Structure 1
Amino acid sequence: MTISKFTRRAVVGLIAAAGIAAPAAAAEVDFSGKTIEWVIPFSETGGSAKWANFFAPLLSEELPGNPTVVVKFMPGAGSTKGANWFQEQEHEDGTLLFGSSGSTQFPYLLGDPRVRYEYNDWNAVMASGTGGVAYLNAEDGAKFDGSANALKDTDFIYGSQGATRLDLVPLLAWEMLGMNVEPVFGIKGRGDGRLMFERGEANIDYQTSSGYLKGSADMVEAGTAVPMMTWGALDADGNIVRDPTFPEIATFKEVCEATDGCETSGEAWDAWKAFFISGFPVQKLAFLPAGTPQDVIDTYTAAFEAVRSRPDFPEISSKRVGKYDVFVGEGAQTALGTATNVPDEAKAFVVTWLKEAYGVELK
């Protein structure tokens, strides 16, 4: 499968998914007096935490009985610890929800031996896209002129969850730009990477949109961080365009085109774009466990549909998680299919690159 065919399929699937109506909630499902536990397999400082904490009170308002929705955190092994735990859970009373992200999807796609979870066993009830922003410290940001040419002699330190996580998107992008970025692996969430940057232990960082809006944007305003680029967004034809949440920041594609030696075609670009598509347009998903009855699935689907249909949702979501599509029900399942499929040639390129760049063996 070529990258262009994959891109078209991804875009068509997402557009089709967005138009699927949610079923009505089953009248007999009632969560009165109950507590919903929404488990996030990252630390409480990252973008997934901010995403879940944004949706949790809105979900509480729309579920029948208005249960309390509590976000809990289970960080470890770049999210595979929590995902492996969720794989073992079965439906009891509809009070367990799990949230994954691209850092959960990528190890699954790449055959990471630590993965013991299977997405096809889970019930996706909501999916949402996001973006990402890479930024520099003030000293190095002063050298940035829209290209990476003046940054190629700088030694950068980056706090990373792991090379097989969502971090492979920025790591591969920086390598394609000819930059020397040394990752410090093992942080529990992207928020921990931001803390390293704030303490001066790292001089380059990237955050998904929710993490950037709630934390990194303040550093930019204070002058201690300088935006470098976003990963961009996809238009209806599968082209990378500027992120609607950050239209004033150039995309990686633009920076690459302005940088000597960086190419927006070829194997590296095709692999980067494939994993970008898998990791960002459908970046975060909410799941019910295996065995959940259809009436409970329908109830959650209707609740998330009511959330995204609120008249004030575009305004409040743009400030907290960014301006991105939200998919529910069958739309979420279709979006999941896009998020968990990349062309074989893109996988092969990334597996080879991970071994050569970081000594990561996946077999």
Structure 2
Amino acid sequence: MTDIETTRRAALGVLGASALAFAAAPATAGGHGGVDMSGKTVEWVIPFSESGGSARWANFYAPLLSEQLPGNPTVVVRYRPGAGSTAGANWFQEQDTADGTLVFGTSGSTQFPYLLGDPRVRYEYNDWQVVLASGVGGVAYLPPDLAGMMDGLDATPLQDTDFLWGSQGATRLDLVANLAWKMLGMTVDPIFGIEGRGDGRLMFERGEANIDYQTSPAYLRSVVPMVEDGLAVPMMTWGALDDDGNIVRDPTFPDIPTFKEVCEATPACETEGDAWDAWKAFFIAGFPAQKMVFLPATADADVVATFDKAFKDVIAQPDFAEKAATTLGIYPQMTGQAAENAKSLATEVPDSAKAFVVDWLQEAYGVSLD
């Protein structure tokens, strides 16, 4: 067993165990190391636009974090989109703020270019200090007329339809969706260059795209109303992981089949082999620990401890699980060693999976990462 496989197995166990902490996380003992943030403003920067799931996640946590940090500083979410989040991450890499007045929120679209060795990446996850890791899911959906073409879970009838969708980029989190649709034998042409998944949803709403997916926070807020109004129909979720690393139904959307179920029902798709192994590896890297909060490498140790305790205290609030389930979905929220393990899970994939995806990106989109 390789070191990466050992780390992934350990991290998967932590993700399963930390689901319990989602409902009842214990408060930690200890003070804040003398840190007082009275009168200060904490800028929580996300490298996306204000219309997607990352924005909803950050804006959910920001006031709760303010309540738990010593001195109750104002926590303001700032948006720094560009290059599918690479521009913002490159910017954060250069920051040397030490006093806790700057934190950075990433997603799978920040992780994947790093994993694939995208030459535009000038950031290093190992330099950043993680204080929160949030699991999340994703839901793909269709217009009602196209959803009605499916034969139960079998997507074969969709193979003769030309699909368009708005994508952040070939090497971003969207590769999970692009590869899934390819495995189902569908012809889905991405329009690359949107600044966030929320912009992709807007394309769907305007009729400029006829397929889309959103991460759970954005789906709950913006797509569920479309489903209720008969304007969209869920096709599948990407699923969730059980304690043994198996794909199971997403606990936030237990009535929606997973991609694995749809794949099993579609003759063109297989749940074993190189394509499946690569898809699952990048799904694991992109969703069970998709969103993370970091302090810069220069942040003082007592500042890091202060943020760690603050997030623990947020999660320990009696009404947190209910609030989070409504806004973010039912997923682990990890701090401390669990967050560190989740970071490892999200920033390492087997070499075989990387090689498959690199070759596929070149073949499918002419994207070279050499």
Q: What TM bracket, shorter-length normalisation?
A: over 0.9
Match of 2:126 among 120, 124, 139: 120
User: Which amino acid is the alignment partner of residue 91 of structure 1?
Assistant: T
Q: Name the CA distance, whole Å, in 2 between partners of 1:125 and 1:351.
A: 31
**Range with bigger deviation, 123-132 or 321-330:** 321-330
Is 1:206 the counterpart of 2:213? The answer is yes
In structure 1, the partner of 2:90 is: 84
Q: 1:130 aligns with which of 132, 136, 139?
A: 136
Find the counterpart in structure 1 of residue 320 from structure 2.
313
Secondary structure at the aligned position of 2:302 is classed as helix
Equivalents in 2 of 1:113, 1:250: separation in Å? 36
Identity of aligned residues (%): 67
Answering whether residue 107 of structure 2 is matched by residue 101 of structure 1, we say yes
Contact 1:53 1:71 in 2 (8 A): yes
Offset at residue 13 of structure 1 (A) = 4.2
- What residue identity is the alignment partner of 1:190? R
- Which of 47, 50, 74 is equivalent to 1:44? 50
Q: Give the Cα separation in 1 of the matches to 2:283 and 2:250.
A: 13
Instruction: Give me the CA root mean square deviation.
Output: 1.7
Q: Is 1:235 the counterpart of 2:242 in the alignment?
A: yes
- What is the CA–CA distance in structure 2 between the aligned matches of 1:43 and 1:25, rounded to whole Å? 36
Change in Cα spacing, 1:102 to 1:156, as seen in structure 2 (3 Å) is same
Moved over 6 A (4+): 2-6, 16-21
Q: Secondary structure at the match of 2:225?
A: helix
Whether 1:186 aligns to 2:193 is: yes
Task: State the TM-score, normalized to the length of structure 2.
Answer: 0.95
Specify whether residues 291 and 16 from structure 1 end up closer, same or farther in structure 2 by C-alpha distance, changes over 3 A only: farther
1:169 maps to what in 2?
Answer: 176
Q: What letter is aligned with 2:248?
A: V
Distance 1:289 1:27 in 2: 18
Show CA shifts across 1:235-254 (max 9, x none): 11111000000000000000
Deviations, residues 163-186 of structure 1 (Å, cap 9, x unaligned):
100000000000000000000000
Using the TM superposition, give the Cα deviation of residue 9 of structure 1 relative to its aligned residue in structure 2, in angstroms.
Answer: 3.8
What is the distance in 1 between the residues matched to 2:328 and 2:18? 20
Size of the aligned set, in residue pairs, is 363
- CA offset at residue 331 of structure 1? 2.0
> Gapped runs of 5+ residues in structure 1?
none
8 Å Cα contact 1:17-1:335 kept in structure 2: no
**1:109/1:340 contact within 8 Å kept:** yes
The separation in 1 between residues aligned to 2:41 and 2:61, in whole angstroms, is 15
- Counterpart of 2:341? 334
Report if the CA contact (8 A) 2:11-2:341 is conserved.
no
- 1:8-23 matches, cutoff 5 A: 8-15=9-16
1:110 has 2:120 as partner = no
Give, in whole Å, the separation in 2 of the partners of 1:274 and 1:154: 28
Cα distance in 2 for residues equivalent to 1:5 and 1:116: 27
> How far did residue 143 of structure 1 move?
1.1
Q: 3-state SS of the aligned residue for 2:163?
A: strand
Alpha-carbon offset, residue 14 of structure 1: 3.0
Secondary structure class of the residue paired with 1:152: helix
CA drift at 1:94 = 1.2
Shift of 1:269: 0.1
- Please name the residue that 1:64 is paired with: 70
Describe how 1:277-356 pairs up with structure 2 within 5 A. Answer: 277-356=284-363
Matched residue of 1:124: which SS? strand
Give 3-state SS (helix, strand or coil) of 2:165's partner. strand
**Partner residue, 1:141:** 147
